[in-house]
Amino acid sequence: MIMNAQKSLAERARRFIRTPKGTLLVVFAVLLGVAGTATGWPIVLPHVLAAIVGACLTEVALVGVFGRRWAWPSSALLSGLIVAFVLGPATAHWVTLCVAMLATASKHVLKTSRGHVFNPAALALLVSIPLFATGQSWWGAGGDLAWPFLGLMIAGGALIVDRINKFPLVLGFAATYFGLFTLVSLPDPTAVAEMFRAPFVQAALFLALFMLTDPPTSPGRYLDQVWVGVLAAVTACVGQLLGAGQAYLLLGVLVGNAALAVRRMWQVAPARRASPA
Amino acid sequence: MAKKMPRRLVALSSSAVAAIYLAGFVYTRGADAGLASVATSVPTAVSASPSATASNGQPSVVVSASAPATSTPTSTSTTTTSAYRDGTYTGAGTSRRGNVDVSVTIQSGRIANVTISSVTTQYPVSRIASLPSQVVSRQSSQVDNISGATYSAQAFSLAVQAALSKAGA
């Protein structure tokens, strides 16, 4: 009996790992293992736990409040990890907890029939800047680590991007982002020199690989992927050049999310009007 | 769901992106070094806004450095420390990429302790962790630039200046 239960649990775990969310969780676990060891577990562990607990408990509570079917809060877990990776590990634990709670709550509040509108972690992190005066270090992206970690992150990111078929989105973003900064550097190299260096490169790639590609908030069609990626990159670059400070990448992904939501509503509205009553 | 992008096309596009990145990286290489040398002399054009209190919601102590009991000034800084009044003073420095808040403790007219109380720049705080000890050892707000965290170093220096101006008022 116990053996059967163990086998069933192992089989379910194996099946979960094969899903995109499961693969992403494994990739995040590897990144956390390396970045956490480099940063120092006494600082990192309570920070990560606060984010995970905040995100998952809010998910469980809201599922109960809205009377939805219980499901393992894997999305909340991933949102919590992203919040933890981006917020500085020295952030007060109650702040990390609140930001993670905001992330999950936003998913349930700002939604359409197709799912949530904004990347939950990105929205909560942006709101947390004026709300809690948070600092964002993107330590989970390995901005402080040696270049091999960047290779590890890109490899893990490519694995998940391939699974969810979002290469045009990521490549469109990266080409536009680095292309625009290269163009700006022609007349004034000092204005954007740091955008090509750590920790900004790592942060931009982490955002492109793991946040911009969030399936519910990113397009499926290749053409849509390209323009959303380009729009997000242009917004991020303009935000950076206009002095948006640490928010510039988050603004990019959220503007891309909003544009996609408008586009989806615009597509659905005529279809509804055309359908017989 | 669209059909998967051919791997050859993915590889080709990724190479193109890498080439664009490398072009920018190489072109701005000298500018990055220039930034570092320019920032070594602390700019005064950037605004420093003194803050009355520590920032809300932030870790109260991020990085700090204290002077050893027998320390002596090692720098011939233009800033004299004898005019400072004892106490703890806060200061905020701004830069294009965010703010740094510090608190500076003056004991016997000297800078005894500098604490970074919050950082809202995008750089990891560990990048500027060495700066408080520089202020204490030099008894001056003038610090070395940190390559890769230029704006944090600027904001830190301005924050220390703001705190010291309160202490000297």
For A13, the domain range is: 2-272
Burial class for B141, CB neighbours closer than 10 Å (0-12, 13-18, 19+): buried
- The chain A residue lying nearest B34, using CA atoms, is A190
* pLDDT at residue B38 in the model: 38
Burial class (CB in 10 A: 0-12, 13-18, 19+), A270: exposed
Tell me what the pLDDT averaged over chain A comes to: 90
Q: List the one residue out of A249, A39, A276 whose CA is nearest residue A143.
A: A39
Q: Is residue B75 part of a domain?
A: no
Would the pTM count as exceeding 0.80?
no
The token pair at A150 is: 């960047």
User: Do residues B29 and B91 share a domain?
Assistant: no
Number of domains in chain A: 1
C-alpha span between A64 and A74 (Å, rounded): 16
Residues A205-254: pLDDT tens digits? 999 999 999 999 999 999 999 999 999 999 999 998 887 777 899 999 99
Q: Are residues B128 and B161 in the same domain?
A: yes
| Partner A contacted by B11 (CB < 8 A) | no
Whether residues B27 and B54 share a domain: the answer is no
Shared domain for B62 and B11, answered yes or no, is: no
**Which pLDDT value is given to residue B79?**
44
What does chain A look like in DSSP terms, one character per residue?
A: -HHHHHHHHHHHHHHHHHSHHHHHHHHHHHHHHHHHHHH-HHHHHHHHHHHHHHHHHHHHHHHHHTTPPP---HHHHHHHHHHHHHB-TTS-HHHHHHHHHHHHHHHHHSEETTEESS-HHHHHHHHHHHHH---B--GGGTTTS-HHHHHHHHHHHHHHHHHHT-HHHHHHHHHHHHHHHHHHHTT-HHHHGGGGSTTHHHHHHHIIIIITT-GGGS-SSHHHHHHHHHHHHHHHHHHHHTT-GGGHHHHHHHHHHHHHHHHHHHHHHHHHHHS--
Is A172's pLDDT higher than 70? yes
For B84-129, write each residue's pLDDT tens digit: 889 999 999 887 667 788 999 998 888 999 988 877 766 667 778 8
B59 Cβ under 8 Å from any chain A Cβ: yes
Helix axis angle for A93-109 and A74-86, nearest 10°, is 130
Report CB contact under 8 Å: A185, B125.
no
CB neighbours (10 Å) of residue B56? Answer: 10
Q: Closest Cα partner for A82 from A126, A121, A113, A55?
A: A121
- ipTM score for this prediction: 0.89
pLDDT at B31: 72
B62 touches chain A (CB under 8 A): yes
Both B92 and B148 in one domain: the answer is yes
In this structure, the answer to whether residues B16 and B49 fall within a common structural domain is no
**Closest by Cβ to B118, choosing from A133, A190, A201:** A133
Residues 2..31 of A with a Cβ closer than 8 Å to B: which? none
Cβ <8 Å between A199 and B55: no
From CA B146, how far away is CA A117, in angstroms rounded? 39
Q: Which residues of A touch B30 (CB under 8 A)?
A: 189
Q: From chain B, pick out residues whose CB is under 8 angstroms from the CB of A20.
A: none
Average pLDDT over every residue of A90-102: 93
Question: How large is the average pLDDT for residues B151-164?
Answer: 89
Beta carbons of A135 and B16 less than 8 Å apart: no
Asked if B16 and B65 sit in the same domain, the reply is no
Residue A277 maps to a domain: no
Assess whether B14 and B45 both reside in one domain.
no
SS3 for chain B is: CCCCCCHHHHHHHHHHHHHHHHHHHHHCHHHHHHHHHHHHCCCCCCCCCCCCCCCCCCCCCCEEEECCCCCCCCCCCCCCCCCCCCEEEEEEEEECCEEEEEEEEEECCEEEEEEEEEECCCCCHHHHCCHHHHHHHHCCCCCCCCCCCHHHHHHHHHHHHHHHHHHHC
A63 touches chain B (CB under 8 A): no
Q: Is residue A113 part of a domain?
A: yes
Q: Is residue A189 part of a domain?
A: yes
The predicted-structure confidence for B60-85, as pLDDT tens digits, reads as follows 335 666 665 443 333 333 344 457 88
A46 part of contact set with chain B, CB < 8 Å: no
Say what percent of chain A tops pLDDT 70.
Answer: 96
User: pLDDT tens for residues A23-41?
Assistant: 999 999 999 999 999 888 9
A–B CB contacts, 8 A cutoff, strictly below: 136
Q: What is the pLDDT of residues A210-221, one digit of tens each?
A: 999 999 999 999
Q: Does A147 touch chain B (CB under 8 A)?
A: no
B interface mutation test: which of A194, A226, A230 has the most B CBs within 10 A? A194
Are B99 and B20 in a shared domain?
no
CA distance B56 to chain A (A): 7
For residue A72, tell me if it sits in a domain: yes
Q: Report pLDDT digits (tens) over B28-57.
A: 987 765 444 433 333 332 333 333 333 333
Residues in B touching A201 (Cβ below 8 Å) = 21
State how many domains chain B has: 2
At B96 the pLDDT is 64
**What's residue A147's pLDDT?**
86
Our CA angle for B141, B144, B147, nearest 5°, is: 135
Say yes or no: A200 contacts chain B, CB-CB below 8 A. Answer: yes
In a domain, A114, yes or no: yes
Which pLDDT score, from 0 to 100, does residue B65 have?
67
Task: Tell me the per-residue pLDDT of A252-262, one tens digit each, with 9 for 90 and over.
Answer: 999 999 999 99
Residues B112 and B64 in one domain: yes
Q: Residue B1 falls within a domain, yes or no?
A: no
Question: What is the C-alpha separation between A272 and A250, in angstroms, rounded?
Answer: 33
Q: In the prediction, which pLDDT does A58 show?
A: 95
Quote the pLDDT of residue A28: 97
- Cα–Cα separations (whole angstroms), residue B156 to A107, B23, B51, B99: 37, 32, 13, 8
- pLDDT at res. A9: 80
Substitution target from B9, B20, B61 for chain A, most A beta carbons within 10 A: B20
CATH label of the domain that carries residue B51 = 3.90.1010.20
Q: Which tens digit of pLDDT belongs to each residue from A38-83?
A: 888 998 999 999 999 999 999 999 988 887 777 888 999 999 999 9
Task: Please check whether residue B2 lies inside any domain of the structure.
Answer: no
| pLDDT tens digit sequence for B6-32 | 999 999 999 999 999 999 999 998 776
Q: Does any domain span residue B101?
A: yes
Reading the block at residue A107, the tokens are 């998913």
Instruction: Tell whether A217 is covered by a domain.
Output: yes
Cross-chain Cβ contact A137/B122 below 8 Å: yes
Q: Show residues of chain B in contact with A129, CB under 8 Å.
A: 120
Q: Based on the domain organization, do B103 and B56 belong to the same domain?
A: yes
The answer to whether B141 touches B160, Cβ cutoff 8 Å, is yes
**Mean pLDDT, to the nearest integer, of A189-193?**
85
Residue in the block written with tokens 């964002």: A136
Place of tokens 């995970």: A52
A134 to chain B nearest CA, in Å?
6
Q: Show the domain range for B149.
A: 41-70+80-168
Q: How far apart are CA B61 and CA A114, in angstroms?
A: 44
Q: How large a percentage of chain A has pLDDT more than 90? A: 64
CA distance to A110, A267, B40, B49, B134, per residue, from B157 (Å) = 41, 53, 10, 12, 11
B126 shares a domain with B58: yes
Contact B28 A137 (CB under 8 A): no
